[in-house]
Amino acid sequence: MTAVPTRDPADEAGDPTVPAGTNALVRGAHERAEQIPRVDDEQYARGAEIARGGMGRIVEARDRRLGRVVALKELLDLDVESMLRFEREALISAQLQHPAIVAVYEAGRWPSGEPFFAMKLVAGKPLDQVISIARTLDARLVLLPRIAAACDAIAYAHSQRIIHRDLKPGNILIGDFGETVVIDWGLAKDLDAVESPDSANRQPRRPSQKKLDSPKVTGASTLTVAGAVMGTPAYMAPEQARGEPVDARTDVFALGAMLYHLLAGVPPYMARTATDVIAAAALGRVIPLAEREKRAPRDLVAIVTRAMEPLPIDRYPDAGVLAEERRRFMTGRLVDAHRYTAAQRLGRFVKKHRGAVSVATIAIIGFIVGGTMALHRIVDAKDEAQHAERIASTRGNAGERLIDYMMTHVQHELTERMVLHVAQQNLLRLTADFQIENRRMENFFLQGVPQRVVIEFDHLRFSTSAINDCRRLAGNTQAAARTRTLQGTLESDYFHVESPMHCPRPGSKNGASKP
């Protein structure tokens, strides 16, 4: 490794092959490099190489001063652009203090001039390797908290006005002891930083042909491309693939793409070359997640769909809002990106408030059972009351009929008694008349006036018949019978004569009358 060479400004000014402003850029990079302290390489005992990227490599080392194992990231390509990017990565990584962002312990230069920084060593595997091991959706859903932790880390970075610009499962380390760490902030950008005129005018760096032709490159869509288009094509937002200005919503798209990969098992964009992937990303051609994985949770699919909207304005504004939406899903609450039916809302409410719903259900069942029993008792009491009312009504009607009958009977009895009384009065009157008539007839017989017997007899018969009729009207059958007997006796004993000459006198044995 060699230090960045410096050139005389006069020579640079006269060199037509050097772009305008390059001298100031080189001078600024050299000045900043000189400000980084030099560190004796004997303070670190180097170990094996852990990873290698487009700009640098990571090796395991042991800090002899503190006796701890660290990861050393060293810059391989010492051009100005790489040095600026390496410097930015070290500064941003050191500024971000979050459990899911790798901590920077030290930054400096080796005695030979190459920059490096020491950071926490996380033993584990990249998330893309872990996803490839999980063959089923259920096995991949277990990894959802890992992406959730990365989303929280990016939400913190967005709160600091810093965007990552190269989020992918390969930059999410899954530790052996449950750690989740977001690494490789080499393309990170401070949204509040003012770009220098030199940086605005410089041409993008093209990747060397050697790197593109390297046989070790097996996954073109998952490699980081530096230059006018910066990022990983398979997880790149359309505006980033087109080389347009980016913001926090670009990271939101990448987080949604990682969720897509987690649920579907494959990245959103699949092509044979990075150019083809970039072209597909620029057009936003993504196979809908619901078609690739029909068993994925619908509300989680809605979150991914909104995070990966082609237009930035339609996405979540930053990773913090996406993280809150993801928390709502993981805690069983309703997410804003999904439109729920009434049945789904009811099911979510029951799932969220299972204890309260269980108690309420038991209470409702008890209320229904108690209410049903009470209703049965009320109905039975009502039936009994109606039965008693019918009995009382029947008895009342019977009493009224009895009273009517008794009143009619009493009236009839009174009427009969009145008629009987009248008849008795008539009978007494007729009896008195009969006695008077009887005495008169006896006097007639004694006086020898038999010629009037027939006349009196007819009158007497009329009188006894009238008496009999009166008693019959009164209902006194015995009196009527006695009246007929008396009438017969009178007819046989006193009035059995054919002519006045044959009428016997009272007291005569042969019935002959004396002259």
pLDDT, tens digit, for every residue of 255-278?
Answer: 999 999 999 999 998 877 778 888
Tell whether 5 is covered by a domain. no
Kindly name the residue from 11, 15, 77, 166 that is annotated as catalytic: 166
Asked whether residue 96 falls in the same domain as residue 37, the answer is: yes
Query: Residue 1 pLDDT > 50, yes or no?
Result: no
The predicted model scores a pTM of 0.62
- Looking at the chain, the whole-number percentage of residues with pLDDT higher than 70 is 72
Phi-psi domain of 85 (left: phi exceeds 0; alpha: psi -120 through 50; beta: other): alpha
Same domain assignment for residues 250 and 382: no
Tokens 């005129």 -> residue: 197
**CA separation for the pair 126, 477 (Å, rounded):** 134
Q: What is the mean pLDDT of residues 463-468?
A: 60
166 flagged as catalytic = yes
Shared-domain flag, residues 116 and 165: no
Asked which of 83-87, 162-166, 415-419 is least confident by mean pLDDT, the reply is 415-419
CATH code at position 139:
1.10.510.10
Residue 253 has pLDDT above 70, yes or no: yes
| Single residue among 121, 146, 164 that ends a domain in this structure | 121
Same-domain pairing of 103 and 223: no
Task: Give the tens place of pLDDT for each residue, 279-306.
Answer: 888 888 888 999 999 999 999 999 999 9
The residue with greater pLDDT, 231 or 331, is 331
248 vs 161: CA distance, rounded Å: 8
* Secondary structure (3-state) at 412: helix
Residue 506: per-residue pLDDT? 46
- Of residues 90 and 435, the one with the higher pLDDT is 90
Higher pLDDT pick, 118 / 123: 118
Distances (CA, A) of 446 to 433, 441, 505, 506, 513: 20, 8, 7, 8, 10
Report the CATH number at residue 105.
3.30.200.20
**29, 142, 164 from 88: Cα distances, Å:** 12, 34, 12
Answer with the one of 341, 365, 386 that is the final residue of a domain.
Answer: 341
Q: What is the mean pLDDT of residues 471-491?
A: 60
**Residue where one domain finishes, among candidates 121, 148, 166:** 121
Q: What are 221-246's pLDDT values in tens digits? A: 554 554 445 667 889 999 999 999 99
- What mean pLDDT is reported for the chain? 77
Same domain, 168 and 179: yes
Residues 315 and 460 in one domain: no
> Are residues 372 and 332 part of one domain?
no
Q: Is the per-residue pLDDT at 200 higher than 60?
A: no
pLDDT of residue 316: 96
Q: What pLDDT is stored for residue 148 in this prediction?
A: 94
Choice among 127-141, 227-241, 381-395 with the minimum mean pLDDT = 227-241
Is 169 a domain residue?
Answer: yes
pLDDT of the residue at 20: 46
Q: Looking at the structure, tell me whether residues 262 and 295 fall in a common domain.
A: yes
Are the beta carbons of 131 and 140 closer than 8 angstroms?
Answer: yes
Q: In what order do the strands lie in the sheet with 180-182?
A: 124-126, 172-175, 180-182
> Is 308 inside a domain boundary?
yes
- Residue 509: inside a domain: no
Q: How many domains does the chain have?
A: 3
| pLDDT: which is higher, 24 or 178 | 178
The rounded distance, in Å, linking the Cα atoms of 281 and 411 is 116
Beta strands in 100-191 (DSSP E): 104-109, 115-120, 124-126, 162-163, 172-175, 180-182, 189-190
Q: Which of 11-25, 148-162, 254-268, 401-415 is least confident? A: 11-25
- pLDDT value at residue 202: 42
Could you tell me if 149 and 254 lie in one domain? yes
- On whether both 283 and 143 belong to a single domain, the answer is yes
Same domain, yes or no, for 336 and 232? yes
pLDDT tens readout for residues 425-444? 877 887 887 778 777 777 76
Half-sphere CA count of 446, side-chain side, radius 13 A? 6
Q: What is the mean pLDDT of residues 348-357?
A: 78
Residues 347-376, mean pLDDT to the nearest whole number: 85
Residues 117 and 139 in one domain: no
- Specify the higher pLDDT residue, 204 or 486: 486
Please report the sign of the dihedral spanned by the C-alpha atoms of residue 10, residue 11, residue 14, residue 18.
negative
Lowest mean pLDDT segment, chosen from 3-7, 112-116, 508-512:
3-7
Q: Is the pLDDT of residue 167 over 80?
A: yes
Q: What angle do CA 454, 457, 458 make, to 5 degrees?
A: 90
The boundaries of the domain holding residue 92 are 29-121
> Which residues lie closer than 8 Å to 25 by C-beta, 6 or more apart?
80, 198, 199, 202
Residue with tokens 């005018």: 201
